[in-house]
Each structure stands twice: as C-alpha cells, then as structure tokens.
Structure 1
C-alpha cells in the first residue's frame, strides 16, 4: 500500500496528539506533522500542503470550526477527518458546516478514535489522493 500520504494532525491535547501520531506512524504513514495550536497549524498548512487533515474540534483560542473555516478561506483542498470528545450531534453539525465551506470530510470520529476506524479512513484518504476526488464523491 502507498503510505506516502502527507498528513497534518491538529489536537491541543499533547497526549492525544502523541497517540494519534503513534497510531498513524504504526499504520505505516511517516509523512506526518503534528500541531497542538490551531493558529500555528494555519501557518503550516500552506507550506506543508497535506493531503489529509485530522482536526480536533474542541480547542482553546481557535476551535476546530474556526480553523476549518480559515483553512477553506486559504483554499485547502485536501480531505478532513474530524475528531471530538463531544457527542455525535456536535460532530454531525461540524461535518455539515465544514462541507458548506467547501471542505471534503472523510469522516467524523469520537475520541478516542479506534485504530481500525482511523486505518480505514487513512486508506480512503490514500485512495482519494492517488485517484483524485472525482472518483469518490464529495465526502460522507
């Protein structure tokens, strides 16, 4: 499997960010950049140009929704996986808002995300990056 996917992980919880990094690396993906601050991640986004963004929704200073709005404004065209410890209704609302901004949402997962669920979403992101979005619709 092609695991050259460029991935940006964004979570303000240092433990969760480390856990996500370990899971993603353990699945064979090594082109990974982690950020714990949404404003810093916005400066990294255009330079790193990830094909996949894994974004926590609940963060101080700038929450995930604000971050995704800003990412859409700078024309981020990769795919997004949303993460949250909040209930599924919040995740669905965030998914709808992000898609309204023109972002492609691959999935919305509750924390802690299961390794198998993340593996499936990473495989989907890899296929999308390889074949282009037209072959896979516009997200969930």
Structure 2
C-alpha cells in the first residue's frame, strides 16, 4: 500500500541521493525521484506530484530555504522532511521558516537520517496524503 507514495529527494551530494534512494527502495518505496539541482526539483513538483519532499538545506545556487519558499509559492501541498549536516539550531530555524511558509514539515533530521526515523516520517507522510485525498467531512471548502 505505501509503495504508491511519490517521493522527491533533493540533495546536491550524489552519494547521499544514492544512499537515500537505496534506503527508500529497500523499504518498499519504488516511486522515488532524485534530483541534485534545486531548479530541476522545482520543475519536477508539478510534473511528478510528490507526496513527500526530502530536502537538503545546504546546496549551491539555491539553498534549501530558498527552494522551500519557491515550493510554497508553487502551492506544494505534500509533506516535507528537512535534512542537513549542519547543527540542530539551524535545522530548527529552517523548520520554523518552512512552517511559516505554510509547508507541512514532518521533521528536520541530521544526515544521515536513521532508518527508524525515516520509516516513522514515511508513515506520517502516507497518513497526511490519505487525509488530503479524503473529501471534507461537512462538505465545506478547504
């Protein structure tokens, strides 16, 4: 059931992209797209329609904060997991900024993310996807 979750990975480090892709596929998530360039990842948002975005914060050209701002402006309504090799204070600040942009942040993790933490966030991403797919209970407008 969870294999239908569409996941977009964004990290400028090819090794980290391969590691994360392998980890996700090993957990049964086959619909994974990996991008090393933030502008290509932005273009992938409407065409790929990810349910979950796993985004590195420290990237050249367009950093993770700039990318998340652009994703919010593009009305990305999936879930987000932030990754960074930086200290936890920077992760918390980025998480706060992303939530202020209206994004649904599942967590902010240091690299490499432990498999158990990733599994928990994937389960929550699935739950949020299912909640978005349900019609409003009272016929109201979102």
Is TM (by shorter chain) over 0.5? yes
Alignment of 1:1-140 (within 5 A): 1-132=1-132
- 8 Å Cα contact 1:3-1:126 kept in structure 2: no
Q: How far, CA to CA, are the matches of 1:4 and 1:124 in structure 2?
A: 14
Stretches of structure 2 lacking an aligned partner (at least 5 in a row): 135-142
Which TM-score applies when normalising by structure 1? 0.92
Q: How far, CA to CA, are the matches of 1:130 and 1:103 in structure 2?
A: 17
Q: How far, CA to CA, are the matches of 1:102 and 1:131 in structure 2?
A: 17
Stretches of structure 1 lacking an aligned partner (at least 5 in a row): 135-140
Instruction: Find the residue that maps to 1:116 and give its secondary structure.
Output: helix
Q: Are residues 133 and 110 of structure 1, via their aligned partners in 2, closer, same or farther at CA, if it must alter by over 3 Å?
A: farther
Q: Are residues 133 and 93 of structure 1, via their aligned partners in 2, closer, same or farther at CA, if it must alter by over 3 Å?
A: farther
Q: How far, CA to CA, are the matches of 1:120 and 1:22 in structure 2?
A: 17
Structure 1 window deviating more from structure 2 (1-10 vs 84-93): it is 1-10
Instruction: Find the residue that maps to 2:60 and give its secondary structure.
Output: coil
Instruction: Find the residue that maps to 1:132 and give its secondary structure.
Output: helix
Q: How many residues align?
A: 134
Which TM-score applies when normalising by structure 2? 0.91
The alpha carbon displacement at 1:84 in A equals: 0.3
Q: How far, CA to CA, are the matches of 2:3 and 2:101 in structure 1?
A: 28
Q: How far, CA to CA, are the matches of 1:68 and 1:83 in structure 2?
A: 12
Q: How far, CA to CA, are the matches of 1:96 and 1:63 in structure 2?
A: 16
Instruction: Find the residue that maps to 1:41 and give its secondary structure.
Output: helix
Alignment deviations for residues 28-55 of structure 1 (CA, whole Å, 9 cap, x no partner): 0011100000011111111111010000
Question: Which of 1 and 2 has greater Rg?
Answer: 2
Q: Where in structure 1 do 4 or more consecutive aligned residues deviate above 4 Å?
A: none
